[in-house]
Amino acid sequence: MALTPGTKIGPYEILSPLGAGGMGEVYRAKDTRLGRDVALKILPESFARDSDRLRRFEQEARAVATLNHANILAIHDIGQHDGSPFLVSELLEGESLRALLDHRALPQRKTIEYGVQIAYGLAAAHEKGIVHRDLKPENIFVTKDGRIKILDFGLAKLAQKAGAELDEATLASSHTAAGMVMGTASYMAPEQVRGEPADPRSDIFAFGAVLYEMLSGVRAFRRDTTAETMTAVLKDDPPELSDPAHLVSPGLERIVRRCLEKSPEQRFQSARDL
């Protein structure tokens, strides 16, 4: 549902569109009670009729609302408009890490600065039992003053206890091609590629892939097709980071390599440790 400027949704007045993605359309809106601008995300009507998408949207709202951390997007409110649910979050000024990378590496100092903030945000979520499951540069935002915000916990799920049944949400649902799994192939941990449950160590693998890309300017795992990319995640190690034109400290490369271990047991066991 496209909302026009001036539309009122409860106490929120739509100002302008900000963008659209798989989980909804996002608008800049005015909170007339507090006099501040916010981001309002609303599911299109077709999504609202899809019980699985609706569940994921509500799950995102509940999960993120329990988190109160400087490096995680803050959720202010949730509601419904004409049968479609919406959530209201803080409005960010800046750009995504994807836009910042744009096929180029970041300086090592900047990579460490951003990496520390991402790790703190993940640690805060993991300590509440929340796994992101889709960490990638598109879901990491850099504000104008250099703060990192982790976005879109739409695939987040309370971490399952050891021995729990297979996380069926990881498998294909009716609106995805048969056999496909959620997440983005280049950043998925091997266990996610195999359709197994994600846990905090899966986010650590994705974080390692993001770190690799920040340092090198290229994706750690990227092939011509999704299937080939998934095979690379399962079997291949990415090329060495350091080259004569772009030196990376041995300590930092060891951290990246440990994050990218194929076996979860061989990675850092928590984002706090990392």
Active site residue ranges? 134
Residues near 27 by beta carbon (within 8 Å), at least 6 away in sequence: 3, 14, 15, 16, 17, 18, 39, 40, 41, 42
Under a CB-based contact definition with an 8 Å cutoff, are residues 185 and 134 in contact? no
* Helices (H), ranges, 133-194: 190-193
Picking from 149, 150, 191, the residue whose alpha carbon sits closest to that of residue 170 is 191
3-state helix, strand, coil in the chain (%, to 5): 35, 20, 45
DSSP notation for 22-77: TTEEEEEEEETTTTEEEEEEE--HHHHT-HHHHHHHHHHHHHHHT---TTBPPEEE
Lookup: tokens for 25:
């359309």
